[in-house]
Structure 1
Amino acid sequence: MAAETGVKALVDTIRQRGLSYRLGKTWTTDAPCRETARTITQRQAEGCLAVEMEAAGMMAVAQCRGVPFGQVLYGGDDASGSVWDQRAWQSRAAIRQSLFWLCADACLAL
C-alpha cells in the first residue's frame, strides 16, 4: 500500500535523526466549526491524536496517482481548549525548515 511506504520512509528518516515522534491517526475536517466537544470525544475514542484540514485531499491525489504518501503533522497551534493557543508557530521558521528537510530526505529514501 502506498501510504504504508510513505509512512515507513518518514519513520525511518525520523529515527535516523534520533527525533521523538508519535505515530497515529488524525481526522480531517473542512471547517473548525465542526470540531465540537462531542465530535472530539468520538474521534479520540477512535484513536485520533489530532484534527487537521489538509490530509484527506492530499491522500486522495496520491491514491489517484498511485504514489506513496506520508504526512508529518506539526502542531503549530492548539485549538483543543476553549481558547485558541497560537503557540507562536508563525515565528518558528527554523522548525518548519527542519521539517521541510526531514520530509525531503524521506522522499529521497523512497
Structure 2
Amino acid sequence: MLIDDFDSDSEEILQPDQRNKPIANFPKIIIAPFYGDMVQKFAIDNGLPIIGNSKSLNGSNYVYRYQFHDLRLGLIMAPVGAPQCIETMEDLRIMGATKFITFGTCGVLDTTIGKGKIAIPSTAVRDEGTSYHYQPASETIQMPKKTLQIIQEALNTAQIPYMEGKTWTTDAIYRETKNIFQKRKRAGCSFVDIEASAILAWSKFRQIEAYPFFTTADNLDSKMWEVRSDYRDDIPTALKAALAIARLIN
C-alpha cells in the first residue's frame, strides 16, 4: 500500500530551504487563520507591514508583522486543505517561525453540538494523504498531551468555553458519504475538517509546536446538510482564543 511508504531514512529531493531563506527578526509565533478575506482586511485596517511571502502557483500569500501589546507575532492566511497548508507551514519554518496557531471552521457529526463552539482536536482520524509523508501509517494521530494542556489553560484563563474531541480529517468534502459519516460517528468522531491530522503529523516530524483548533460550523448530523449561519460571526472569539494561546507560549 502506498500509505505505508513513509520514509524517514533518505533525504528529501525538494527541501523547503531551497525555496526560502531565514528572515532577520522573523516572529517565532505565527497565527494562521483559514480565512483569507479576514487576514487581508485585518492587515489593511491595522496597517500591518509585509515581512514575508509564501509563494505558490496560486500567487502570493503574505506574512504580516502583528504587534499585539508585548507579543511579536506573524499573521498569514493558512491555505485550506492539508497539502498547501503544510507547504506554507514548511516555508514559515525556514523563515524563522517555531510555533504555529491555526484556526478555522469544522463540521459537526452530532446535532447536539451548537454552532460557534471552540473545538480542540485532541485526536484526528487520518483520512487524508499528507500526514502519511510525515508519520508512519496509522488510523489516528493524537495531539501531544502538553499541547492539549496549553490550549486548555489558555482558554480557561481567557474564560473562553470550549470542547475537545475526535475529528475526522478528510481530503474530499464532497465525498463525505452517509455510510462513512455513520462509521466515523460510531468511531467517536465529533468533528470533521480537512487539515488537523496533517498539522499534527507535520509538527511531530519537524519537532515544531502546533496548536490547531476550530469553531464549529455546519452540521452533517441531519436529514439534509445544515449550513447554519455565517461563520464570520465566530471569528472574533477564535482570534481571542488564538491570542490567549500566543500569550501563554510566548
Contact 1:26 1:51 in 2 (8 A): yes
Which amino acid is the alignment partner of residue 41 of structure 1?
Q
User: Which structure has the greater CA radius of gyration?
Assistant: 2
Q: Over aligned residues, Cα RMSD in angstroms?
A: 2.3
Contact 1:2 1:68 in 2 (8 A): no
Q: Give the aligned partner of residue 85 of structure 1.
A: 227
TM-score, structure 1 as length reference: 0.79
Deviation digits for residues 24-72 of structure 1, max 9, x if unmatched? Answer: 1101000112211111111111111100001122112201111333322
The 1:41/1:11 distance shift into structure 2, 3 A limit, reads: same
Contact 2:170 2:194 in 1 (8 A): yes
Contact 2:155 2:245 in 1 (8 A): no
Helix, strand or coil: the match of 2:237?
helix
Q: Give the aligned partner of residue 74 of structure 1.
A: 215
Deviation digits for residues 3-33 of structure 1, max 9, x if unmatched? Answer: 2111110011112223321111101000112
Percent same amino acid at aligned positions?
21
TM-score, structure 2 as length reference: 0.38
Kindly state the Cα deviation for residue 84 of structure 1 after the two structures are TM-superposed: 4.2
Q: Which runs of 5+ in 1 are unaligned?
A: none
Q: Which has the higher strand share?
A: 2
Per chain length, whose mean CA-contact separation is higher, i.e. which structure has more relative contact order (CA < 8 Å, sep 6+)? 1
Count of residue pairs the alignment pairs up = 107
Moved over 4 A (4+): none
Q: Which has the higher helix share?
A: 1
Q: Which runs of 5+ in 2 are unaligned?
A: 1-141
